[in-house]
Amino acid sequence: TGIIPAGITGEDYFVLNAAGSGARLWRAGYDATCIVTVEVTRHDAQGSDLDIRLPGWHGQARINAPGRHMAANAMLALAAADACGADMTRAADGLATFRPGTGRGAITHVMHDSVALLDESYNASPASVRAALDLLGLVAAGRRVVVLGDMLE
């Protein structure tokens, strides 16, 4: 089974090669034309509640990592688990134990909780900066400051 995120650079190349191999191909994303889909039913600065549809399973999951990009990662993880024959209820429940690593979207309140610091310092690419800016919108309203460094990728 090939699981291809919708809109990924090179998607057409992957689809063409997978089709020629005879492998099952699951296109995954937010788009209703995808075989594997995720809908964020609620999200905030702590995480997201998800509704995920796979070819043989439909269910809900919670991921304690905020942002649409993390919801998409959770969807892809469940698709891979399903393709491997995992118990999907256990896999979905397991997502709730996930915590992002250092520099991967942790929100820390500083200065007597008057400032929310979003740490996306692990690595930078245009896609990760877009995801961080989207995530910043989930942090309580008020003044927002973005500090960017080099993007070496």
- Note the pTM of the prediction, 2 decimals: 0.79
Closest among 116, 120, 118, 119 to 141, alpha carbons compared = 116
pLDDT tens digits, 86-116: 999 999 999 999 888 777 767 777 777 777 7
% residues pLDDT > 90 (the chain): 35
Closest among 61, 64, 66 to 76, alpha carbons compared = 61
DSSP per residue, 63-102: ESS-SHHHHHHHHHHHHHHHHTT--HHHHHHHHTT----T
Q: Which CATH superfamily is domain 2-95 in?
A: Mur-like, catalytic domain (3.40.1190.10)
* Residue-range domain boundaries for the chain: 2-95, 100-153
Question: Mean of the per-residue pLDDT values for the chain?
Answer: 83
